[in-house]
Structure 1
Amino acid sequence: MNDQKTLLQIDGVTKIFPGVRALDNVTFSVVEGEVHGLVGENGAGKSTLMAVASGALVPEYGRVVIDGVETRGDTEQARRLGLAIVRQEPALMPDLSVAENLYLGVPLKQRPSLMQVAPWAEGLLKQWSDDVAIDANERVVSLNPEQRFIVEIVKALAAKPKVLVLDEPTEHLLAEDVERLFERIRKITASGCAVVYISHRIREVQKIANRLTVLRDGQGQGTWHAAGLSEQEIVELIVGGALDRDFPPKGDDEGASVILDVAGLRGAGFSDISLQVSKGEIVGLAGIDGNGQREFMRALAGQARSRGRVTVTGTHARLHNSQAAAASGIRYLPGDRHREGIFGELSVRENFSIRSLSFDSIKGWVSQRSEARRTKDAVTRFAVKTPSIDTPIRSLSGGNQQKLVLASVLASQPKVLLVDEPTQGVDIGARMEIYKVLREAAAAGTAVIVVSSDAHEVAGLCDRVLIFSRGHVVKELDGNAVSENNITSAVLTVTTEREKGLSRTAGFWKWASGDLAPIVMLAVAVCALGLYAAHVNPAYLSARNLSGMLALVATLAIVAYGQQLLMLVGGIDLSVGPLMGLVVVIQSFFLNDGATLGHQLSGWAIVLLVALAVGLVNWMLVGPFRLHPMVATLATYMALQAVSLLLRPVPGGLIADRVVDTIGAQFGFMPVVAIVAFAMAVVLELALFKSKLGITFRGVGSRLEAARMAGARPQLTSLAAYLGCSFLAAVAAVPMMAQVGSGDASAGINYTLGSVAAVVIGGASLFGGRGSFVGALLGALLIIQVNVVTSFLDIGDSWQSYLLGGMILASVALYSRSREMAVAK
Structure 2
Amino acid sequence: MTTTTTTTAMTTDQSAALRLDGIGKSYPGVRALDGVSLELLPGRVHAILGENGAGKSTLVGIAAGSVVPDQGTIDLAGQTHRRLQPGQARAQGLAIVYQTPALAPTLTVVDAVLTLLPADKKPARGNATAWLAGLFTDLGLPIDPGAVVGDLSQREAHLIEIAAALACDPQVLVLDEPTEALGAEETSWLFDKVAELQGRGTAIAYITHRIPEVMSIAQDLTVLRDGRVVGRGDVSEFTADEIVTMIIGRSLETTFPDKASADPGTPVLAVQGLAGPGFRDVSFEVPRGQILGLAGVEGNGQRELLHALGGSGTVQGVVRVNGAEVSIRSHRAATASGVVLLPGDRLGTAMFGNLSIRENVVASALGDAMPVGWTRRAREYELTREAIDDFAVKTATLESTVVSLSGGSQQKVLLARARLANPRVLLVEDPTQGVDAGARVEIYSCLRELASSGVAVVVLSTDAVELEGLCDRVLVLSRGAVAADLRAGEITERAIIGGALLADHATSEAAEEAVATQGAPARGQAPGRRRRRGAMIQPVALLALTGLVALATASRDAAFLQPLNLSQLLLASAVLMLVGLAQLVVVITGGIDLSVGSVVALSGVVVSFHADGGAGALAIGAVLAIAAGAAVGTVNGLLVTRLQVPAVIATLVSSVAVLGLAQVLRPQPGGAAGLDVLNLLGATIATVPVLLVLGLLVTAGMAQVLQHTALGRGLRAVGADAVKANRMGVPVLRTRVIAMAMSGALSAGAGIALFAQTGIGDANSGQALTLASVTVIVIAGVSIFGGSGSAVSVAAAALLLQVITNALAFLSWSIAWQYWIQGIFVIVAAVLPMLARRARMRSGQS
Shorter chain as normaliser: what TM range?
over 0.9
Task: Indicate the residue corresponding to 1:407 in structure 2.
Answer: 416
| Aligned with residue 358 of structure 2, among 337, 346, 349 | 349
- Preserved contact between residue 301 and residue 331 of structure 1 (Cα < 8 Å): yes
Distance 1:360 1:105, change over 3 A: same
1:598/1:155 CA distance change after superposition, 3 Å: closer
Residues 790/80 of structure 1: CA separation in 2 closer, same or farther (3 Å cut): same
Q: Displacement of 1:695 after TM fit? A: 2.1
Q: CA deviation at 1:778?
A: 0.6
Q: Distance in 1 between matches of 2:689 and 2:782?
A: 27
Q: Shift in Å at residue 198 of structure 1?
A: 0.8
Correspondence for 1:464 among 468, 473, 482: 473
3-state SS, counterpart of residue 581 of structure 2: helix
Match of 1:288 among 279, 297, 304: 297
Instruction: Name the Cα RMSD after superposition.
Output: 2.9
**Per-residue deviation, 1:665:** 1.1
SS of the residue corresponding to residue 364 of structure 2 reads coil
Q: How does 1:588-599 map to 2 (within 5 A)?
A: 588=608, 590-591=610-611
Describe how 1:138-537 pairs up with structure 2 within 5 A: 138-252=147-261, 254-494=263-503, 500-503=519-522, 511-512=530-531, 514-533=534-553
Structure 1 residues 621 and 509, CA gap change in structure 2 (3 angstroms): same
Aligned to 1:682: 700
The worse-fitting range, judged by mean Cα deviation, of 611-620 and 96-105 is 611-620
Q: What SS class does the counterpart of residue 354 from structure 1 fall into?
A: helix
Matched, 1:116 2:127: yes
C-alpha separation in 2, matches of 1:51 and 1:245: 33
Q: Does 1:771 align with 2:782?
A: no
Q: TM-score, normalised by structure 2?
A: 0.90
- How far is the alpha carbon of 1:372 from its aligned partner? 2.2
Which shifted more, 26-35 or 2-11? Answer: 2-11
Contact between 1:510 and 1:818, CA under 8 Å: does it hold in 2? no
CA contact (8 A) 2:62 2:84 kept: no
Query: Secondary structure at the residue paired with 1:422?
Result: coil
* TM-fit CA distance, 1:590: 4.9
* SS of residue matched to 1:440: helix
Contact 2:614 2:677 (C-alpha < 8 Å) held by counterparts: no
Measured in 1, the distance between the counterparts of 2:386 and 2:304 equals 34
Alignment partner of 1:73 is 2:92: no
Q: 3-state SS of the aligned residue for 1:70?
A: strand
Q: Are the equivalent residues in 1 in contact too, given 2:369–2:376 (CA < 8 A)?
A: yes
* Distance change >3 Å, CA 320–CA 549, structure 1 → 2: farther
Q: CA deviation at 1:172?
A: 0.5
Q: Report the alpha carbon displacement of residue 598 of structure 1 after superposing the two structures with TM.
A: 8.5
Whole-Å separation in 2 of the counterparts to 1:620 and 1:66: 31
**Residue 101 (structure 2) pairs with residue 90 (structure 1):** yes
Conserved? CA contact 2:603–2:625, under 8 Å: yes
- Aligned partner of 1:442: which letter? A
Q: Distance in 2 between matches of 1:598 and 1:191?
A: 62
Identify the residue that residue 128 of structure 1 maps to in structure 2. Answer: 139
**After the TM superposition, which residues 798-817 of structure 1 pair with which residues of structure 2 at under 5 Å, given as runs?**
800-801=818-819, 803-814=821-832
The 3 A distance-change label for structure 1 pair 683 and 756 is: same
Residue 106 (structure 1) aligns with: 117
Aligned AA (1:356): A
Letter in 2 for 1:326: T
Counterpart amino acid of 1:630? V
Per the alignment, residue 660 of structure 1 pairs with 678
Distance 1:64 1:730, change over 3 A: closer
Q: Within 2, Cα distance between the matches of 1:470 and 1:534?
A: 61
Report what 1:607 is aligned to. Answer: 625
**In the superposition, relative to structure 1, how do residues 219 and 643 fare at CA in structure 2: closer, same or farther (>3 Å)?**
closer
CA distance in 2 between counterparts of 1:363 and 1:554 reads 53
- SS of 2:474's equivalent in the other structure is strand
> CA contact under 8 A between 1:420 and 1:450: conserved in structure 2?
yes
Label 1:77 to 1:731 Cα distance change in 2 as closer, same or farther (>3 A): closer
In structure 2, relative to structure 1, the CA distance for the partners of 1:727 and 1:62 (3 Å cut) is closer
- Cα distance in 2 for partners of 1:193, 1:509 equals 35
Q: How many residues align?
A: 821
Q: Give unpaired runs (5+ residues) of structure 1.
A: none
Instruction: Quickly say closer, same or farther: Cα 1:192–1:788, change in 2 above 3 A.
Output: same
- 1:752-786 C-alpha deviation (Å, 9 max, x unpaired): 12222222222322222211211111111111122
**CA displacement, residues 698-723 of structure 1 (integer Å, 9 cap, x when unaligned):** 22222223332333222222122111
Instruction: Tell me if structure 2 keeps the 8 A contact 1:13–1:63.
Output: yes
In structure 1, how many angstroms separate the alpha carbons of the residues matched to 2:337 and 2:82?
Answer: 55
What CA distance in whole angstroms lies between the structure 1 residues aligned with 2:336 and 2:529?
Answer: 32
Q: Distance in 1 between matches of 2:265 and 2:723?
A: 51
Give the TM-score normalised by the residue count of structure 1.
0.92
The answer to whether the 8 A contact 1:9-1:29 is kept is: yes
Change in 2 beyond 3 A, CA 1:321/1:636:
farther
The partner residue of 1:725 within 732, 740, 743 is 743
1:547 is the counterpart of 2:556? no
2:362–2:417 CA contact under 8 A, matched in 1: yes
Q: Quote the residue 2:60 is aligned against.
A: 50
- The Cα offsets for residues 722-753 of structure 1, whole Å up to 9 and x where unpaired, read as 11111111111122123333344442122112
Q: 1:149: Cα distance to partner?
A: 0.2
Describe the shift of the 1:117–1:349 C-alpha distance in structure 2 as closer, same or farther (beyond 3 A). same
Hey, what does 1:738 align to over in structure 2? 756
- How far residue 118 of structure 1 moved from its aligned partner, in angstroms, is 0.8
**Counterpart residue identity of residue 770, structure 2:** T
Q: Following the alignment from structure 1 to structure 2, what is the Cα–Cα distance between the partners of residues 15 and 63?
A: 12
Structure 2 CA distance for aligned equivalents of residues 62 and 608 of structure 1? 45
Q: Could you tell me which of 20, 44, 47 is aligned with 1:37?
A: 47
Deviation larger for 201-210 or 280-289: 280-289
For 1:359, give the aligned amino acid.
Answer: D
**Aligned-pair CA distance for 1:182:** 0.3
CA distances 1:8-43 after superposition (whole Å, capped 9, x unpaired): 222232323222222222222221111111111111
Residue deviations 1:370-418 (CA, integer Å, cap 9, x gap): 3223433444411111122222222221111111111121121111111
In structure 1, the partner of 2:603 is: 583
Answer yes or no: is the 8 Å Cα contact 2:152–2:523 preserved in 1. Answer: no
Asked whether the 8 Å contact 1:171–1:424 carries over to 2, the reply is: yes
Instruction: Report deviation, 1:501.
Output: 3.5
- Deviation string, structure 1 residues 632-685 (Cα, Å, up to 9, x no partner): 222333334444455656655544343333211111221111111112212221
Return the alpha-carbon distance in structure 2 between the equivalents of residues 690 and 246 of structure 1: 52
Change (3 A) 1:659 1:237: same
| Aligned equivalents of 1:153, 1:792: Cα separation in 2 | 60
- Conserved 8 A contact 2:780-2:796: yes
CA separation of 1:817 and 1:455: change in aligned 2, threshold 3 A: farther
Distance 1:17 1:246, change over 3 A: closer
Q: 1:760 aligns with which of 775, 778, 784?
A: 778
Aligned partners of 2:148 and 2:524 also within 8 Å: no
After TM superposition, give the deviation of residue 802 of structure 1 in Å.
5.5
- Is 1:562–1:728's contact at 8 Å kept on the other side of the alignment? yes
Quote the offset at 1:686 in angstroms: 1.8
Q: Secondary structure at the match of 1:355?
A: helix
Most deviating of 248-257 and 333-342: 248-257
Cα 1:743/1:426, change in 2 over 3 Å: same
Q: Secondary structure at the match of 2:298?
A: coil
Name the amino acid aligned to 2:138: Q
Q: Would the alpha carbon gap of residues 415 and 643 (structure 1) be closer, same or farther in structure 2, given more than 3 Å must change?
A: same
Cα distance 1:431–1:192, how it changes in 2: closer, same or farther (>3 A)? same
SS of the counterpart of 1:515? helix
Q: Which moved more, 1:505-514 or 1:330-339?
A: 505-514
Within 1, Cα distance between the matches of 2:657 and 2:496?
70
Report the Cα offset of residue 597 of structure 1: 7.9
